[in-house]
Structure 1
Amino acid sequence: MGPGPIDAYPSVLRALSAPLTGQYDPFMTATMTETQVLYRQVWGTENEATVIVDGTSRAGIEAAMVSLIRPGDRVLVPVFGRFGHLLAEIAERAMAEVHTIHAEWGQVFPVSVVEEAIARVRPTLVAMVQGDTSTTMLQPLDEIGEVCRRYGALFYSDATASLAGNPFEADAWGLDAATAGLQKCLGGPSGAAPLTLSPRAVEVVTARKRVEAGIREEGDPQAPDFVRSNYFDLGMILDYWGPRRLNHHTEAASMLYAARECARLVLVEGREAVIARHVRAGEAMLAGVRALGLTTFGDLSHKMTNIVAVYIPEGVPGDAARAAMLEDFGIEIGTSFGPLHGKVWRIGTMGYNAREDAVMVTLAALEAVLRRFGHTAFTAGGGVDAAADIYRGA
């Protein structure tokens, strides 16, 4: 019950145990095609270039950024948590001229601030995190795509922690690229990164020069537009997932099955219904921790549905309390880092764990642990009662 990875849906675990097939077996290629169709719906897009990158969510981030960024390109990264710093670092490794703006942890950016920075920097790419678990904040994206278009910038978002538990509309919001992982609201294991590219982004990716099998094509690999990574070259990955099925890597069959099942579950339940379930679980957990006398962190009007941060009560040893939750109740909650290190706990309600019984058991265990360490400024059973009121509509 931390910021992720989380418990996977049982049917996703079953999918992982399905028999392996070769990468050009008709079943495998049909599964790849089906997975693309499913994730177009999850992303809210008609992008043909919707694929899975084999690797953790960071593999998807790196694939998008190294494939879209040419050395010397100006990249703007609005940073409001740890993972904005990650985007800036990857952009620097891609040899971009990186510009950052910063919001206080626990806050998000007004569109006007982002627009002012875009007008000043004139970036080729704007890279933003949607939901940053380090701060629990959800950055509104719905107006930024239009601003990027006006200034001729590509717009990329890392939706690792937010996709499927919070609204995301790739086409309606003008996203040119977006990536995620399975291990948060999608309810799967870490190891596969859903990715989607707009036609405009595909044009950039496919225009990049590349070297395959040691044969130089279209110029020297030191040319400014040469993709420095083979594995993360999206031009080659798109060829692999496209109708030509050009060999690039051996597809991670088990993770493909898991990714397909994660998307299937979202669509069977319904995208809006899944988001509503995350909203309800998040509201119940929020009400519960408040009833236990805990103070929440950050601007709650911009909090992600699927995670809440609470200040560790004075006098309670944060790490020891977390250890007690895990050892005595089998429940993991998260610590934090950066300016919040040692100050807050982060409690997640996402994917398979965005359900009533998981919320109730976590709050009951947390109450017991808080009492053990001397925090008793609440009514007995108050956390569970407050959460139950949310679920009952009281």
Structure 2
Amino acid sequence: MLDIQAFDQINPPARLLMGPGPINADPRVLRAMSSQLIGQYDPAMTEYMNQTMALYRALYKTNNEWTFLIDGTSRAGIEAMLVSAIRPGDKVLVPVFGRFGDLLCEIARRCRAEVHTISVPWGEVFDPQMVEDAIITIKPRALLTVQGDTSTTMLQPLAELGEICRRHDVLFYTDATASFGGNPMEVDAWGLDAVSAGLQKCLGGPSGSSPVTLSDRFADVVRNRKHVEQGIRNATHQDGCDEIIYSNYFDLGMIMDYWGPERLNHHTEATSMLFGARECARIILQEGIDTCIARHKLHGDALLAGIQGMGLKPFGDLKHKMNNVLGVYIPENVHGEQIRQTLLNDFGIEIGTSFGPLHGKIWRIGTMGYNARKDTVLMTLSALEAVLNRFSFKTAQGAALQAAWDVYASAEI
């Protein structure tokens, strides 16, 4: 027999989330999400959907008509893009510089693509010429990239890749989950065909909604695939089944019909998440997207200066690190998890661990979204310095804060 009295109301502990995401949601986003529900075809609801599309066009710096939300985490956005565009046997090229490039490979293989990869060591990014050379050799139908990979904290430059893809007639997709809102993203200027993201990092919201944008070229590819109503039940291998989108939930063509003027029923929109996603975009555009990116850079620079002032070594090629997350080598003779747990238990501050070849070698500290603030940076540096000294890694007392303050002073903050 279930003892219902043992289940209290949800009351999570107070945490300052300074890892690679998720982060603390902006209170304005949480307030928007607490709004009462309305029907999915209520004129007020469809107007909120139209407004959300317009807001994300501005954030993505695009005129793409098809800019909307996928209900689900950022991985739902990735999967919708790939399952809707990739046909069995399609060649795709994935430049892998971290864990999330491997994720793109896995999802593409589930779409039965012929997956080709190029790689660089974790902590580095790709030169555009390396990508073009691989395109010339492989002749892929699509280039699948990650812009910012939180496993390595690196930001892959995209500005030159769009022109390369257009010249070689290659579809160009990027996963911008970790980078969008805190680093430049110029969808139209860079020639991107499709981008997906998530709310839980630089956008300052919770996980659960994925803003996406599709170029007309990418939308045409999706529209030319077969959908359920086009006879999927009777399809055979000799009857064009390679053009069938086998997912219903992630069928972008059907989702486009739902968000478009026809408002054809596909699913019941996640109303509270739409309210939150709309508020994330509204807040950033009110601040100014370029101002928001500059804010992320300022606080990322202050964190970096403080870490170096503490005598710790940052990870990777700093010329290509994301504004919003920093990798930090764990010093020798320091138990990385002991430091993390003490920060969490004694200060309520969470910093990230690491994956794959970096497991146990670095911490990942984020300054993103609502947490890209001077007070959060200074609190994190102060607490980390105190804990390190507690466990016998000696720092010059106060040097970290002084270095961070110098960055802020130079920016007249």
What TM-score do the two structures reach when normalised by structure 2? 0.93
The structure 2 residue matched to 1:287, chosen from 280, 305, 316, is 305
| Distance in 2 (alpha carbons) for counterparts of 1:385 and 1:21 | 51
| Distance in 2 (alpha carbons) for counterparts of 1:106 and 1:265 | 32
Instruction: Say if 2:341 is the partner of 1:323.
Output: yes
| Distance in 1 (alpha carbons) for counterparts of 2:228 and 2:209 | 25
2:57 is paired with a residue of what secondary structure? helix
Instruction: Say if 2:100 is the partner of 1:83.
Output: yes
Instruction: Say if 2:24 is the partner of 1:7.
Output: yes
CA-based RMSD = 1.1
Instruction: Say if 2:287 is the partner of 1:269.
Output: yes
Please report how far the alpha carbon of residue 216 of structure 1 lies from its aligned counterpart in structure 2 after TM superposition: 2.3
| Distance in 2 (alpha carbons) for counterparts of 1:256 and 1:98 | 34
- Hey, what does 2:90 align to over in structure 1? 73
Q: Is the 8 A contact 1:321 1:370 kept in 2?
A: yes
Deviations 1:306-346 (A, max 9, x none): 00011111111110110000010010000001000000000
Unaligned runs of 5+ in 2: 1-17
Deviations 1:331-362 (A, max 9, x none): 00000010000000000000000010000000
**1:1-394 mapped onto 2 (5 Å cutoff):** 1-212=18-229, 216=231, 220=235, 223-376=241-394, 378-393=395-410
1:33 is paired with a residue of what secondary structure? helix
| Distance in 1 (alpha carbons) for counterparts of 2:195 and 2:159 | 14
Deviations 1:20-50 (A, max 9, x none): 1111111111100000000000001000000
Q: Is the 8 A contact 2:95 2:118 kept in 1?
A: yes
The 1:193–1:317 alpha-carbon spacing in structure 2 relative to 1, beyond 3 Å, is same
Q: Is the 8 A contact 2:73 2:210 kept in 1?
A: yes
Unaligned runs of 5+ in 1: none
Q: Is the 8 A contact 1:315 1:374 kept in 2?
A: no
Q: Is the 8 A contact 2:195 2:212 kept in 1?
A: yes
Aligned residues between the structures: 391
| Distance in 1 (alpha carbons) for counterparts of 2:390 and 2:39 | 54
| Distance in 1 (alpha carbons) for counterparts of 2:44 and 2:82 | 31
What TM-score do the two structures reach when normalised by structure 1? 0.98
Q: Is the 8 A contact 1:210 1:221 kept in 2?
A: no
Q: Is the 8 A contact 1:240 1:248 kept in 2?
A: yes
- Hey, what does 2:3 align to over in structure 1? none
Q: Is the 8 A contact 2:203 2:280 kept in 1?
A: yes
| Distance in 1 (alpha carbons) for counterparts of 2:366 and 2:77 | 23
**Where does structure 1 differ by over 4 angstroms across 4 or more consecutive aligned residues?**
none
Identity %: 63
| Distance in 1 (alpha carbons) for counterparts of 2:87 and 2:39 | 35
The 1:117–1:154 alpha-carbon spacing in structure 2 relative to 1, beyond 3 Å, is same
2:349 is paired with a residue of what secondary structure? coil
2:188 is paired with a residue of what secondary structure? coil
